[in-house]
Each structure stands twice: as structure tokens, then as C-alpha cells.
Amino acid sequence: MAAVTALNESAAAASAGRTRGMQAGRRRRLNVFRYVVFTVFGLFFLLPLLAMLRFSLEGAKLGTWSLTAWRQIASYQNTGIPPLLSAIEITLELAVITCAVMLVLLVPTMIWVRLRVPWLARTIEVLCLLPLTIPSIVLVVGLGEIYNRIQHYSLSALMLFWVYVILALPYAYRALAAGLGAIDVTTLSEAARSLGASWFTVIVRVIAPNMRQSILNAVLLTWSLVLGEFTIAYLLLYTNLQVELYSISRNTPNAGVLFSTSFAALLFAFALLMILSYVGRRRRGRG
């Protein structure tokens, strides 16, 4: 949720030229302070990542370099656990399904509540933000029973999407609420309705396209949440990417493929958020 607020509002909210009102000497000292802070924190955040990168490029002998671990991402298999690639596939499929279900469930509901049942708005908000206060480890304790029942019908790890949608609700809700708040929903829907549009058309073809940016926001946040999820899959005994990495690390503690896969996943997430941040800025500039 925090990411959303920051990405949407930061640049606009910041008062331009914070340092302008300051005396010269104080400004110089502030700059020294900033550079020291950036260096120290930069090192703290970079070093573990660099160490991981270095380990992913470790050759057969200590201190040598090789790309083996990166090539292994596609082929790694260890006894007793499913192949790495299948776990990656499942996780990506889960991400797609979760995003789709989240959108289908949340977007029409939020627009509908906004237009027709505003007295329910508060309830919906509370329900959406509730997963923040119920840790996933707690959810899993209760879900165990429900999943035991579902498992009679299907054993695929894809069934995890049911819970992942719940986990994504707070993040998706905040992203979508920001988008919905920024457009004049009532006028748009009245215009469309008076031209004879059905409610379906109003929601899918009139309002939803106007909140494209926040829908993208919600999708990316959901996406990155699913890629990083461990607790629920682990405790319900399903194998997704994180569980797979965990199992590999139990078998072979320093397998290079751990670090190459983790690093690749991280780069992927970073690229997504960078795209998001730039797309967001361009839209704002035009509007």
C-alpha cells in the first residue's frame, strides 16, 4: 500500500525547492549530510545484493567465475523436490490468475458501490484492508480446514489463487481507490446511461478505461506479491517459487542456482516497478 501512495503522490506533493528557504551555510551542511547518508545506506542495501550476484557467478572452484548457475535456472532438478522450472511456471500462472480474479472481483464491485450503493463503501473498505491486520500465518491456520475440503477435488498448486486474491486485496484496493477518486464517476456514468448504455457498458467500457493507470498499479502490486509469497504455500504444502528455493537451500545450502534465481526475480520486480513509476509520470504530465 505504501508503494502506491508514494508512487502516485510523491512528486506532486513535494513542495518544489525545499532547500531554497535555507541559509547558504546550512544548505552546504545539509548536502554533506545527504551524501553521507546516501553512501552509507547505499552500501547497506547494495552489498547483500552484490554478494548474491557474486555467488550466482561462482564457478566450480572457489573464486572462479562462470555462468553455470544462470543456465541452471532452466534445468535445475534435485531429488525429492519438483524441478525448479515447474515451480517458476506455476508461480507465473498463479500471478496471472490472481491478477485476473482480483480485477474481475474488485473493479466492478468498487465502481458499483461508488455509483449505486455508497452506504456500503465503508464496509467494503474495511473488508479490503482487513487482510493487513490478519497475518497470513493466521489465515493459513483457518484455511487449512477449508483447503482440506477443496483438496478432495483438485490437488493443483494453482488452487492457491483463492487466498492470494485475499492477500492482494489491501494493495489492489488502495491503488484502485486512488484511481477511482481521481475521476468524476457520477458524471461519466450519467452521460453514458443517458445515451442508453447498460450498466455493464458503463463499468467495463466507460469507467474502467479511465482508471487504466491505477488498474496497472493494482496488477503490478498483486503480481509482485504473488511472486514473493512463501508462508501460505509452504504451510499448505504446495510448491511455488519461494518454497522451491527454500527446499533447494535445505538440500544444498549454497547451490549457485539459489542466488541466480533470486537475483533474477529481484531484477524482474525492480523492472516492473520502474516501468510503473515512469508510466505514471507520463500520464500525469499529459493530464
Residue with cell 526475480: 265
Least Å distance, CB 209 to other proteins, is 20
Among 85, 92, 197, 216, which residue interacts with other proteins (rule: CB under 8 A)? Answer: 197
Residue with cell 499529459: 286
Least Å distance, CB 91 to other proteins, is 12
Strand extents, DSSP E, 177-275: none
Which CB sits closer to other proteins, 6 or 74?
6
Among 13, 149, 152, 286, which residue interacts with other proteins (rule: CB under 8 A)? Answer: 13
Q: Work out whether 224 is an interface residue with other proteins (CB under 8 A).
A: yes
Give the largest Cα separation in the chain, rounded: 74
Q: Work out whether 68 is an interface residue with other proteins (CB under 8 A).
A: no
Q: Which of residues 116-175 bind other proteins (CB under 8 A)?
A: 116-117, 120, 124, 127, 130-146, 162-163, 165-166, 169
Which CB sits closer to other proteins, 211 or 240?
240
Which CB sits closer to other proteins, 90 or 163?
163
Q: How far is 117 from 115, CA to CA, in rounded Å?
A: 6
- Any long-range contacts for 223-227 (C-beta under 8 Å, 24+ apart)? 223/95, 223/99, 223/272, 224/269, 224/272, 224/273, 225/164, 225/167, 225/168, 225/171, 226/91, 226/94, 226/95, 226/98, 226/99, 226/164, 226/168, 227/91, 227/95, 227/265, 227/268, 227/269
Least Å distance, CB 64 to other proteins, is 14
Cell numbers linked to 103: 480485477
DSSP helix/strand/coil, 65: strand
Among 28, 51, 148, 282, which residue interacts with other proteins (rule: CB under 8 A)? Answer: 51
Of 67-75, 77-85, 102-110, 209-217, the segment contacting other proteins by CB under 8 A is: 102-110
Q: Work out whether 274 is an interface residue with other proteins (CB under 8 A).
A: yes
